[in-house]
C-alpha cells in the first residue's frame, strides 16, 4: 500500500496532528495531484456563489490550503482576502499565489486568532468533510462574522447527514438570520476513483 497522501487518507483523518502530518506531505503536489487530477470543483463553486450573494470584504478563507479558493475569489474582483489553515506547509503554497492579505495558522475546532465580528464574509472549501471539521465549528464561524455578513461553506453531503449540521444550525438561530443549502458536484466529469461521484452542499449562512 502506498504511503502517498490521497483523498481516502484525508477522509480517514482523526485529529489535528494527523491532519498536519498528511497535509505537510501533500502540500507540494496538492494542486496537481488532487485538485487538477480529480477536477476539483469546490473552490470555484464557493467563490462563484459568494460573489453572487455578497462579494463583501474583508473575507476569511477557512482551511485555505494551497489558496485555490482565494485565487478564485480574486478572479471575481474580491481582493481583501485572508486565509487560515492548520497546515503551515499548505499555507506556504498559498502565499506563492499572491492573493491573500494575510495568512495564519489556525485550528477551526478551537478558537482562531481573529477578533469577534472581524469579517464581512467567510468562505471555505474542503474543510467541512470526512476526517476534518464538523458542525461543532459553526459557533466559531459565526463569531468571526460581522452582523449581516454571509458565509459560503462547501460541506460534503454524506458528512452533512452523518453529523447533523441542520440540527446545529437551527440551534444557533438567534445568531443566524437565514441559512440555505444548494447541491453541487464536488468533482468534474473527468474524475475517477471511489469518490469521483461524491456530492456536496454549498451552505450559505447570513448572520443576524
DSSP 67-119: SHHHHHHHHTT---EEEEES-HHHHHHHHHHT--SEEEE--TTS--S--TT-E
Q: What is the CATH number of the domain that holds 185?
A: 3.40.50.150
Q: Is residue 1 part of a domain?
A: no
Distance, in Å, from the CA atom of 109 to the CA atom of 1, rounded to the nearest integer, reads 31
User: What pLDDT is recorded for position 4?
Assistant: 54
Distance, in Å, from the CA atom of 182 to the CA atom of 170, rounded to the nearest integer, reads 17
User: What pLDDT is recorded for position 1?
Assistant: 32
Domain of residue 201, residue span: 7-207
Q: Is residue 2 part of a domain?
A: no
| Overall domain count for the chain | 1
Q: Is residue 63 part of a domain?
A: yes
2 DSSP assignment: -
Q: Is residue 44 part of a domain?
A: yes
Nearest CA among 70, 78, 79 for reference residue 51 = 78
Q: Is residue 129 part of a domain?
A: yes
Output phi, psi for 89, to 5 deg: -70, -40
Tens-digit pLDDT profile for the chain (208 aa)? 344 566 776 787 566 777 788 888 888 999 999 999 999 999 999 999 999 999 999 999 999 999 999 999 999 999 999 999 999 999 999 999 999 999 999 999 999 999 999 999 999 999 999 878 999 999 999 999 999 999 999 999 999 999 999 999 999 999 999 999 999 999 999 899 999 999 999 999 999 9
CB 67 within 8 Å of CB 37: no
Amino acid at each position: 500500500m502506498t504511503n502517498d497522501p490521497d483523498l481516502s487518507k484525508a477522509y480517514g483523518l482523526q485529529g489535528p496532528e494527523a491532519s498536519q502530518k498528511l497535509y505537510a506531505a501533500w502540500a507540494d503536489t496538492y494542486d496537481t495531484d488532487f485538485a487538477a487530477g480529480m477536477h476539483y470543483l469546490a473552490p470555484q463553486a464557493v467563490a462563484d456563489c459568494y460573489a453572487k450573494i455578497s462579494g463583501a470584504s474583508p473575507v476569511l478563507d477557512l482551511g485555505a490550503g494551497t489558496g485555490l479558493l482565494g485565487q478564485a475569489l480574486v478572479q471575481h474582483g474580491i481582493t481583501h482576502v485572508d486565509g487560515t489553515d492548520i497546515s503551515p506547509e499548505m499555507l506556504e503554497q498559498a502565499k506563492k499565489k499572491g492573493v491573500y492579505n494575510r495568512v495564519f495558522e489556525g485550528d477551526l475546532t478551537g478558537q482562531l486568532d481573529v477578533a469577534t465580528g472581524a469579517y464581512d464574509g467567510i468562505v471555505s472549501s474542503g474543510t467541512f468533510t470526512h476526517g476534518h471539521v464538523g458542525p461543532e465549528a459553526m459557533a466559531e464561524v459565526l463569531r468571526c462574522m460581522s452582523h449581516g455578513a454571509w458565509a459560503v461553506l462547501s460541506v460534503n453531503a454524506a458528512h452533512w447527514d452523518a453529523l447533523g449540521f441542520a440540527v446545529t444550525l437551527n440551534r444557533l438561530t438567534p445568531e443566524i438570520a437565514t441559512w440555505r443549502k444548494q447541491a453541487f458536484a464536488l468533482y468534474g466529469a473527468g474524475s475517477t476513483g471511489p469518490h469521483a461521484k461524491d456530492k456536496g452542499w454549498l451552505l450559505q449562512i447570513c448572520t443576524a
